[in-house]
Each structure stands twice: as C-alpha cells, then as structure tokens.
Amino acid sequence: MRRRRADTHGSRPDGTALRAGAPEPRTPRAPRRAPASRRSERDARAVVYGPALAGHAYRARRSSIANVPADGLSLLARSASRGGVFSDFDGCLAPIVPDPDAARAVRGANAVLERLGARFLVVAVVSGRSVADLRRRVRARGVRLVGLHGMEEWRDGALHVAPEAEGAREAVERAAARLEQGLAPADGAVLERKGLALAVHFRRAPDPDAVERVAGPIVRAAAEREGLRVVPGRRILEVRPAGGGDKGDAIRRIIDAERLNGALVAGDDVGDLPAFEAIAGLEVGVRVAVASPEGPPDLLARADVTVGSPSEYVALLDRLARNAG
C-alpha cells in the first residue's frame, strides 16, 4: 500500500427537447419551488452528446455539441440571474487519471467557469477533493469551491467548515493511522489523507478489482470502529464523517440561501446522485451526466443530458455561457 500526502496548500441521438411537449413556463416573480405534482414528473430524456446508451451499454460515437435542441438549457440561460451551475471536478471538468495529483481541468474550463460566474447568480465546483486542493486546480473568479462533498466551502475569500464535520477530525486521523498499517496486504492501494476525509484509491493497482476486494473489508472495519462511513466511487473508497452530509445537502443549502429558481448539476459518479436529487423541485433543473464505461447506470438513467467527456461538457457550458443573459 502506498501513501499519498494530503495537499496542504492554501487552498446523452434523438433530437428531442429536454422538456418535449411541455408548455414554456412563465418566469416566476419570486424564487419558488415547483408544486409537488410537478416535482414527481421526470422531463423527457432529451439529448445525448458523445456516448450513446443502449440499455446500460456504453458505446462511443461522435458528438455534435453544435446541434443542441436543449429547451431546458435555453430556459436556464434566460434565467441566469436567479440560476446556478454546479459541476464536479474529476470526471466533469477534468479527465479521470491514474494519479489524482496529475488531474488538470481541460483546456478552456476555467475561462468558461469565469464567464458563467459573471452571468449566473451561483457557479460552484462541488467535489470530493479538499478546498485547498481545488484552489490549485480551479482558477476562475466568481466561482465557489465546495470541497469534501460539502464539508468545506471557499467563498468570499474565506474557508467555511461544517461544524459537524470538524468534530470528527480526530476520528478520521485515527482511522488513517489504522489504514496505513492495515492496507499493507492490499498491494497497489493508495491512501490519501484529505483532512476531514480519507480516500483509498485502486486505479493504479495492476488489478484494481482484486485489490479493492482485499481492501474493502479493511477500510470498512476501520471506518466502523471510528463511527465513520464508507462511500464507494470509481476505483475509490472514501471515508467520511457520518454527519458530514453529501453533495446534495451542500447544493440544497446554496439553493435555499440564494433562492435559486433553476440550476444545472453535472456529475460522473455515484457521489453525484444526491446532487441530481437536490434540484428536483426547481422551476428549471438540468442534470448532466458525463458518461464513461465506469459510470453508474443510475446516474445515466436519471440524467437529462449525457455528454461523453469533460471536453464535451465544457463545450456545453460554453454554449450556456454564450446564451445566458
């Protein structure tokens, strides 16, 4: 088992519209959530960019971002002053790479985020990385950084930490100490300390599935002993405080505090499902899945829009920024 030091620096081709057949809603006079009857409705599946879905199969195809009959995106662009854009980092703004330290946002991502930040009420990167780590990788003015699945947030030039998560810091450290020794049999597993959370990575192992089968019980035992929870992801197990919440909780807090009428949420993994749910009651909600062979079927099934790569997602954001007013 190799250890990775924590960062300590500061910081979906059918042409159907997203809401096919639905009348264009009036712009609400004040921020409000849709009636319960509307919340239970799912928008028609609309656009697939890049990869197409055949059941739960993944197959590559050429994308055409330029031809977007995306009514939901148009509605969101027209209400940018009361809207939000929430993006994951790894898998959405940056490709998944074997070494997390080597991850970089795709070309143009920071510029597009900054343009969105000047048009939308809220633009945020919501990630499992720490805020300190995100500050090294996301360099866009007017963009909030929400780290550790909502336990940390960088806004207005200051770091805000959830009190319920802060209280679990010592428990996280004790679990880390146990895992440093306990993961020795899991050759190829990499332990990452993230302050208020831990991550055990398997992507660099010769046989990631085999190593995860060995490491899984060890990680779960260490977390259980300290009252922590384990959340699986793409070639990763994360250890977090039981009361630390998730991305959905973080996004709901922002939606409520800023009284947003609409939002776009993008994700690529299991941890992004709560974020998809967080915008269920808004007047305009667009869920974007960045598809991959490792992507969870549930995420793809719930997405309104599917793109095939971070570059395609950034192209979608670029069009949103150009249309926003």
Contact 146, 124 (CB under 8 A): yes
Is 207 known to be catalytic?
Answer: no
Report how far residue 37's alpha carbon sits from residue 81's, in angstroms, rounded to the nearest whole number. Answer: 26
Which candidate in 7, 88, 246, 272 is catalytic?
A: 88
Angle at 227 between CA 223 and CA 230, to 5 degrees: 40
Report how far residue 201's alpha carbon sits from residue 211's, in angstroms, rounded to the nearest whole number. Answer: 10
Termini Cα distance of the chain: 51
Q: How far is CA 214 from the centre of its chain?
A: 27
Report how far residue 5's alpha carbon sits from residue 194's, in angstroms, rounded to the nearest whole number. Answer: 9
- Catalytic machinery residues: 88
